[in-house]
Amino acid sequence: MPYEQLKISTSAPVLSWANHALGSEETKMAKNVASLPFVFKHVALMPDVHLGKGALVGSVVATKEALMPAAVGVDIGCGMAAIKTPFVADQLEGKLKKIRLDLEAAIPVGFNENKDIEKSVTNWQRWADFKQLHRGVQDLQGKAMRQMGSLGGGNHFIEVCIDTENQVWLMLHSGSRNIGNVLAQCHISTAKELAKMTKTSLPDPDLAYFVAGTPEFQAYWRDLQWAQNYARVNRDVMMARFKRIVEKHLAGGKPTKALLEVNCHHNYAEKEVHFGEDVYVTRKGAVRAREEDYGIIPGSMGAKSFIVKGKGNHDSYCSCSHGAGRQMSRSKAKKHFSLDDLIEQTQGIECRKDEGVLDEIPGAYKPIDEVMNHQSDLVEVVATLKQVVCVKG
């Protein structure tokens, strides 16, 4: 489906790939961002777009000479990783629960962290840059090292999936943990203070920004890049453990070679060239989808997920959706659904089935097939996956 231009009056147009009319709050949020003087050309909204903080989740914003820390968000570098294994579905028979229990024992979830720091973590070269990060995080290096290789909470997950050809895939969703959150909060606070001090007029305080070339911008950019790298390596560390666990159960512990590996951010900012100009692109709940880029678009914990390849659509700033997108808040989901609903909607999946994950029930998310149908001009589907094991944060 091609995009439609929202009928709002802003200095930059808003192009939407969503298959629904935005609500009043969503429209206001889109209008606020598109009205900023440094927004380049237009704002792109992905099919899974929904309310966020400052900027919509599922939005892609290109800017000239400025960045908004709250538009990137507090989970800097949050994203997905997946590998296609040489295993087939029949090999999982009778082993799903054991795999789930081993995953829960090996990979800390929620606020938990690793008791021991493995060699692959201590060897990460970017620890040498930690002392250069924001002064407010200098006592957090030990915690950051123990949390590398941990999942976090909320909608983060680890899944064993099977594709339509019965091939086994390993997939996970996580970000930069506490260190990314703290760095983001430090810079968001600085941007807001700076806006007050300079009496900068903003449609929303959460759209406070840094101007390129200033010390504040340079400090944020340095910390942002570090946290994005941390998030990517965090996923790599977990995936290596995940792979070893599956190999233990399916290959007697013998190492195997992945047939395809994907690791992509969906909450981040990068320098890119679009429409012949150098810009900063902020993807808040969106995946880069240049030609031949591989990406991951997960559904909910009871729905299909997709491995995709980008088509390089420049109107979307070469982007696609990052998932199904919520259609119901966490609090509303807990009120609307029961434990019986959760059990029914996750039938056939080895996962937690308790009230602690009720806010992640599939019914709280948009139908993933509809989301995919509205971005056929952004990506092509490489593999369609269905989970058989799901570990939630």
Annotated ligand binding at 325? The verdict is yes
Specify the CATH number of the domain 4-327+365-392. 3.90.1860.10
Annotated ligand binding at 267? The verdict is yes
Q: Could you tell me the two tokens for 56? A: 């919509």
Residue 12 has pLDDT above 90, yes or no: yes
Dihedral (C-alpha) 104, 57, 40, 176: value to the nearest 10 degrees? -20
Q: How confident is the model at residue 172 (pLDDT cuts 50, 70, 90)?
A: very high
pLDDT of the residue at 228 = 98
> In this predicted model, what pLDDT tens digit does every residue of 322-338 receive, in sequence order?
998 788 888 999 999 99
> In this predicted model, what pLDDT tens digit does every residue of 216-228 receive, in sequence order?
999 999 999 999 9
Annotated ligand binding at 158? The verdict is yes
Residue 1 has pLDDT above 70, yes or no: no
Of the candidate ranges 75-79, 154-158, 206-210, 230-234, the one whose mean pLDDT is the lowest:
154-158
The residues spanned by each domain of the chain are 4-327+365-392
Residue 354 has pLDDT above 70, yes or no: yes
Of the candidate ranges 98-107, 304-313, 335-344, the one whose mean pLDDT is the lowest:
335-344
Q: Could you tell me the two tokens for 69? A: 């820390």
Annotated ligand binding at 299? The verdict is yes
Annotated ligand binding at 192? The verdict is no
Annotated ligand binding at 106? The verdict is no
Catalytic center residues: 322
What is the chain's length?
393
Annotated ligand binding at 201? The verdict is no
Annotated ligand binding at 152? The verdict is no
DSSP 294-347: EEEE---TTSEEEEEEE---GGGTSEEESSS-BSS-HHHHHHH--HHHHHHHTT
Q: How confident is the model at residue 348 (pLDDT cuts 50, 70, 90)?
A: confident
pLDDT of the residue at 2 = 82
pLDDT of the residue at 27 = 96
In angstroms, how far is the first alpha carbon of the chain from the final one?
34
> In this predicted model, what pLDDT tens digit does every residue of 176-222 receive, in sequence order?
999 999 999 999 999 999 999 999 999 999 999 999 999 999 999 99
